[in-house]
Amino acid sequence: MPQKYDAFVPGSHEIEGFGAGGFRFADMSHRGSILVLPSGISAWDVTTPTQITPQSLQPVLDEPRGTIELLLIGTGEFLLPIRQDVRAALKEAGIGVDPMATAHAIATYNILVTEKRRVAAALLAVS
């Protein structure tokens, strides 16, 4: 059965803070990883970089084509490489990908979203 990803808050929002295994955004907080999409911020049932797959990123791929030009992937405390099948699926969808440590992904995302860029983020929680 496919997993449902319900948005905590619709629309595009900056990430206000992170740490202790979670994130703060739109005056809300969530423990665990999140997907930050143009359509909204939702829980992401991924806890390690090895779980980042085309299937776990399906909500990103389900966004209307052209609404995301770049996906930032926060891989945790450190930058870790992204699997080739993930890169291929995103490329096929017309989405660039840039992996980096979660802290850097949040900072980059916040800058790009304030510039009204078509950006999304897949962020692994950090303790």
Read off the pLDDT of residues 76-102 as tens digits, 9 standing for 90 and up. Answer: 999 999 999 999 999 999 999 999 999
The rounded distance, in Å, linking the Cα atoms of 123 and 90 is 16
Is pLDDT of 5 > 60? no
Give the domain ranges of the chain.
Answer: 7-123
The rounded distance, in Å, linking the Cα atoms of 53 and 39 is 21
Predicted structure pTM score? 0.92
Which tokens sit at 1?
Answer: 């059965």
Neighbours of 120 (CB within 10 A): 25
Which tokens sit at 60?
Answer: 């990103």
CATH topology (fold) of 7-123: Hypothetical Protein Mth938; Chain: A, (3.40.1230)
Query: Taking the alpha carbons of 58, 68, 101, 11 in that order, is the dihedral positive or negative?
Result: negative
